[in-house]
Amino acid sequence: MSLLVVGSVAFDAIETPFGKVDRTLGGAASYFALAASHFVPVRMVAIVGQDFTDEHRAVFKGRKIDLTGLETAAGRSFFWSGRYSQNMNERTTLATELNVFADFKPALPPGYLDSQHIFLGNIDPGLQRSVLHQVNGRPRIVGLDTMNYWIEGSNEQLRETLKYVDILTINDDETRQLTGEHNLLRASRHVLELGPKILIVKRGEHGALMVHPKFIFSVPAFPLEEVHDPTGAGDTFAGGFMGFLAKAGNMSEQNLRRAMVYGSVLASFTVEQFGVERLAKVTRREINDRAHRFAKLTTFKL
């Protein structure tokens, strides 16, 4: 019941109204793996440069995160730098240096080929599909994240890849962009005609919406008094969601709803501090406590 994730491992430089950090561990696969590893063993497929040392690897150690698929290539690791506005609703990318990530061709180690739960992080849709071709047989659950860059520039490739996807996780703008439909619910239903069985619309500080052919489920973001850095919240959500689901082993309605809650709970920890700092420290007990507070936040009886 392990969970394979392919995506970026990077260094981030982040500036928010609450401070700044230089070259902290980042990348979608990092947040995803740390979150998902609370539920199931994670197999990572990513690429880093020679500047990525054992010290940086240390955050993954002692967890159920298999780094056999973390390739080290000649050159420097993916580097991203960004600055958030005063209200943190907008961010400006200051630098994107792909470095070794530019030539990333995900290659699964032999030990990963039996993976049944797979999350295809936000990379070229053709490469995402190549991961599915490598595994043996048909996986049980395939999740996928993408972004405006691929929706615009690799639309045909993306649409082909979406045919093999169970769960698509994108934000509201991307949902509209992918379908050309402004109304979010109509756009979401349209997405389900492209392949995915389930769409999760990530709405940042406004939570997330799951659209399934038979039901719709909405979760808020957990209200926090301290939000210091939103970076990685969506990737953490995806990790918590997919991790819970892989552990549950099926996509029953009840499990899908629970997975949404655990995804939101994990993401709420990430944003409390910079980078993966808080996420790397969170305990299973804190996760469960917050999940129960989350239930209190949304529960009512008619």
Planar angle of CA 134, 34, 15, nearest 5 degrees: 115
Q: Identify which of residues 81 and 273 has a Cβ nearer to a second copy in the complex.
A: 273
Q: Is 90 in the site for a second copy (CB under 8 A)?
A: no
Selected range binding a second copy among 143-151, 204-212, 233-241, 274-282, rule: CB under 8 A: 204-212
Contact 111, 67 (CB under 8 A): no
Alpha helices in the chain (DSSP H): 28-36, 54-57, 125-134, 148-153, 155-162, 172-179, 184-191, 233-248, 253-270, 284-298
Whole-number Å distance between alpha carbons of 157 and 167: 17
Q: Is 94 in the site for a second copy (CB under 8 A)?
A: no
What is the DSSP secondary structure assignment for residue 49, as one 8-state letter? -
Q: Is 226 in the site for a second copy (CB under 8 A)?
A: yes
Selected range binding a second copy among 8-16, 21-29, 122-130, 199-207, rule: CB under 8 A: 199-207
Selected range binding a second copy among 115-123, 229-237, 269-277, 292-300, rule: CB under 8 A: 292-300
Whole-number Å distance between alpha carbons of 227 and 272: 5
Q: Is 58 in the site for a second copy (CB under 8 A)?
A: no
Judged by CB under 8 A, the number of residues near a second copy is 38
Residue type, 123: I
Selected range binding a second copy among 39-47, 96-104, 200-208, 269-277, rule: CB under 8 A: 200-208
Q: What residues line the site for a second copy (CB under 8 A)? A: 86-87, 182-186, 189, 203, 206-207, 209, 215-220, 223-227, 254, 257-258, 260-261, 291-292, 295-302
